[in-house]
Amino acid sequence: MRLRDKVAIVTGGGQGIGRATAVLFAREGARVAVADINEETARSTVEEITKEGCAAMAVAVNTADRHSVEMMVKKVLEAYGQIDILINNAGILRDAQLLKLTEDNFDAVIEVNLKGVFNCSQAVAQHMVDRGSGRIVNASSVVALYGNFGQTNYIAAKAGVIGMTKVWARELGRKGVTVNVVAPGFIATDMTKDLPENVLQMMIDKVPLKRMGSAEEVANAYLWLASDDASYVNGAVISVDGGVTT
């Protein structure tokens, strides 16, 4: 078990990649705080984990709200006494072309996908520094590396996540805390299941492996970066995209 005796927070853990990550981490020995704005889905993930005899707790959190994040961290520390791993996975989409993108939808995506990562990371960083160790893994996207039609807000946030990660890797690395990024490509999740068939096929055609990825394949990258196997990896951007960015 690669995460034995570790405590991990997984934001957006109620569904998709976050759920797959929380389940995998628990199987690898971690006590997992499944954090999600939807407490019902978080509890569903916890039920799946506990049925396998593993430890997990559900925490309702709005990552864009500083007080909500601080309460999440407080609850996890009260329950488990430590935080070793933070997976900043929570995110939303509000796609629109530039000429049609509303200010509200721009702000909403920046608040969750960028500020939310800042809020959660800052909230756990001091605890990790005090303990002399920790793993922060942030979710970006391959589109942050090359752009994508109709995603001004999403790409601005995900590119910002990469930039923040590079800074934090320098600042926190000397204190025993690594900070890295996973940049998923076209992944089969609830966000993509309702896309028209022709759009899905267009996405698949861009992938050298000629298929979409799974949530579990992204979770495996999170696991590696969170484990001791990646102890000398810091400030890296790991693309899990089937070769789209090659």
Residue 233 sits in a domain whose CATH number is 3.40.50.720
| Residue type at position 153 | N
Q: Is 114 a domain residue?
A: yes
In a domain, 245, yes or no: no
Question: 170 in a domain, yes or no?
Answer: yes
In a domain, 61, yes or no: yes
Residue 2 belongs to a domain: no
Domain with 113, as residue range(s), is 7-240
- The pLDDT of residue 246 is 81
DSSP state of 230: G
Q: Annotated active-site positions, please?
A: 154
Instruction: Check residue 219 and give its pLDDT.
Output: 98
pLDDT score recorded for residue 203: 86
Quick one: pLDDT at residue 108?
98
- Can you list the residues of the chain whose pLDDT is less than 70? none
Residue 34 near residue 58 (C-beta atoms within 8 A): yes
Q: Which pLDDT does position 199 carry in this prediction?
A: 79
Q: Give buried/exposed letters for 137-163 (b at 16+ CB in 10 A, else e).
A: bbbbbbbbbeeeeebbbbbebbbbbbe
pLDDT of residue 196: 81
Q: Is residue 214 part of a domain?
A: yes
Question: Among candidates 30, 37, 36, 38, which has minimal Cα distance to 7?
Answer: 30
What is the end-to-end Cα distance of the chain in Å, rounded?
A: 32
Q: Write down the pTM of the prediction.
A: 0.97
187-188 and 85-88 beta bridge pairing: unpaired
Burial class (CB in 10 A: 0-12, 13-18, 19+), 83: buried
Residue with token string 């590396």: 145
Domains of the chain: total? 1
Beta pairing partners, 189: none
pLDDT (0 to 100) of residue 195: 72
User: Does 1 map to a domain?
Assistant: no
Task: Tell whether 145 is covered by a domain.
Answer: yes
